Structure 1
Amino acid sequence: MARTKKKRPKNPTGEMTLVEHLQELRQRIIVSLVAVTVGTVIGFIWYQSAPPHIMSLGEIIRGPYCNLPSDLRADFTGEGECRLLATSPFEMFMLRLKVGALAGVVLASPVWLTEIWKFITPGLHKNERRYTLTFVTLAVVLFVAGALLAYFVLDKGLYVLMSMGSEVQVAALTGGEYYSFLIALIVIFGVSFEVPLVIVMLNLVGVLRYEHVKDKRRGIIVLIFIFAAVMTPGQDPFSMVALALSICVLVEAAFQFCRVHDRKRNEERPAWMDLDDEEASGPIEAPAPIGTAGRITAEPIEAPAPIRSAPARRPGGADTQRAPKQGFEGGADFGDVL
């Protein structure tokens, strides 16, 4: 008799132990790695072979270098063709693998971004979990936008770098140097464009509020320009300014979202719920010293009235006590006593 598999009980609150968290993290990492691996295989094939009417990935990446004037790049074929230099036997294979891996990360971004969001959502409210599709879409769009900006920035920035000292030397770039430079620029721009989305996520979970950053814009802008100056691989002013200005615009848009979201949250949530225990209970007054309280005065208690018993009745119904008869001078009649 086959054993029936027990179903795991539903957990509506989303609470899990540490072991369950680690198991879920392992599962989501495996799914993400599988998606990236499939995307890498597609990118590896796309590097040299492409469908009709679509440029191969190698030609797309080589585009900024080939757009340089012929007098700024070395001619290794003798026919004026645009070719990069390879200095080791495995260099071309490794370059193709690196480019395929980058393409795999970009192509699989909807999958691993969804896994990241699902790992975070148990800590969010039910109405905030509805943003899964919006989060993934914005993350992919922002990364692709950053990569495209890096591609066009390289087209202009490479000309500035190669034209310096062109009267003395001619640039003969190897494939490893050029592709490493391009891949680093694309990754830096793509990841930097995700910063506004991280700000929005922190605001949704209640970690970051608009009041925390509204008076710190100048310092944030300075930090962004320092980050752009350090992270851009070419160290040219064109790519640095382009990256810094783009991040500033996106961060400001994220701050405006935080401002609107905080205002809406404050309208739906009473102000007293955001106070701590001491503020909510009000000011605590110091206790009065002992002996200052009002004294208790004792009032005299009146004696209770005597209880008078009811007169007993005879069997015949006559009372045992009668009114005194008039006869003797004392006013008392002893006839009943005898």
Structure 2
Amino acid sequence: MALKEHLKEARNRLFKSAIALVLGTVVGFFIYNPVLVALSQPIQEIGERTGRTAELNFDGVGSPFDLMIQISVFLGIVVSSPVWLYQLWAFVTPGLRQKERRTALGFIAAAVPLFLAGIYLAWLILPNAVLVLTDFTPEGFANIITVTVYITFLLRLMLAFGIAFLLPVVLFGLNMVGLVTGKQVLKAWRITVFLVCLFAAMAAPGADAMSMFYLAAPMLLLFFIAIGLCLLNDRRRDRRTASRDADLEANADKASSIDGL
């Protein structure tokens, strides 16, 4: 394709992605109230469990509207993720071989549910995380929290979980393009386990070790599955390379025999 056609194709893909994002944001507007109520539930439980005053506060006239836009756009990105990820894949597809296209489509098929699973897991541990963090409040003080700060913290936490669940897919992608091998990744399993547990401890604080376990266990499982896939891909690549070398050697011997005649 000529450069002009590539630009036209990119414009069409971006336009479709933008439409999906807008429609997803509209859906976000409709479910904004129940989502906000669910996100604020942990703050309400603080008062019920500890008897301490805890409430969310808007600090500006336009803050409620800004918060609605922020949550709706975030929900729109999540809802429309299959569409804009597919549009990205479809734009890259013309430059790939048939086998590479199937691999790229496999990345999309794995990335979307993993990203959503990470967000859902963060949603499940949010009440425990909020309760532990607010337990550091000294006796006699209240938790009057700015709602925009609170919601931004929750959305970032969910985004961190979603991205963390995508790391095994990225790792396998790096192996597919030959940047890392399965053996190289396997050698670093100790430091990887330590870093995963450290990330889980910081991103998912809880009253006990269960909150960390809920994040670390699936991440480690996905990591070792990715290592297994990398090792299998390395073995397949080695067999293909050995077969190609054998064919080249056979052709070279045949050419030498013909020259000798």
Normalising to structure 1: TM-score of the pair?
0.62
Q: Relative contact order: is structure 1 or structure 2 higher (C-alpha 8 Å, sep ≥ 6)?
A: 2
Q: What does the per-residue CA deviation read over 1:137-176, in whole Å, with 9 as the maximum and x for residues that have no partner? A: 3222111111111112221111111122452322122211
Matched-pair contact (CA < 8 Å) for 2:47–2:53 = no
- Partner Cα distance (2:69, 2:153) in 1: 15
Deviation at 1:67, TM superposition (A): 3.1
Q: Percent identity?
A: 34
1:68 aligns with 2:46: yes
Please, which of 141, 149, 155 is the counterpart of residue 113 of structure 2? Answer: 141
> Match of 2:221, as an amino acid?
V
Report which stretch shifted further, 232-241 or 244-253.
232-241
1:57 aligns with 2:35: yes
What is aligned with 1:176?
Answer: 148
Question: What secondary structure does 1:169 align onto?
Answer: coil
Give 1 or 2: higher helix fraction: 2
Alignment of 1:220-231 (within 5 A): 220-225=192-197
Q: Indicate the RMSD between aligned Cα atoms, in angstroms.
A: 3.3
- Partner Cα distance (1:63, 1:131) in 2: 42
> Match of 2:44, as an amino acid?
C
Change (3 A) 1:202 1:123: farther
Matched-pair contact (CA < 8 Å) for 2:200–2:213 = yes
What is aligned with 1:99?
Answer: 71
What is aligned with 1:38?
Answer: 23
Matched-pair contact (CA < 8 Å) for 2:129–2:206 = no
Change (3 A) 1:270 1:132: closer
What is aligned with 1:80?
Answer: none
- Partner Cα distance (2:115, 2:41) in 1: 20
Deviation at 1:208, TM superposition (A): 3.5
Deviation at 1:249, TM superposition (A): 2.5
Unaligned runs of at least 5 residues, structure 2: 253-261
Unaligned runs of at least 5 residues, structure 1: 1-15, 49-55, 76-82, 282-338
Normalising to structure 2: TM-score of the pair?
0.78
- Partner Cα distance (2:147, 2:125) in 1: 19
Matched-pair contact (CA < 8 Å) for 2:89–2:105 = no
Q: What does the per-residue CA deviation read over 1:163-207, in whole Å, with 9 as the maximum and x for residues that have no partner? A: 224523221222112111111101111112111112223333444
- Partner Cα distance (2:78, 2:208) in 1: 27
Matched residue count: 246
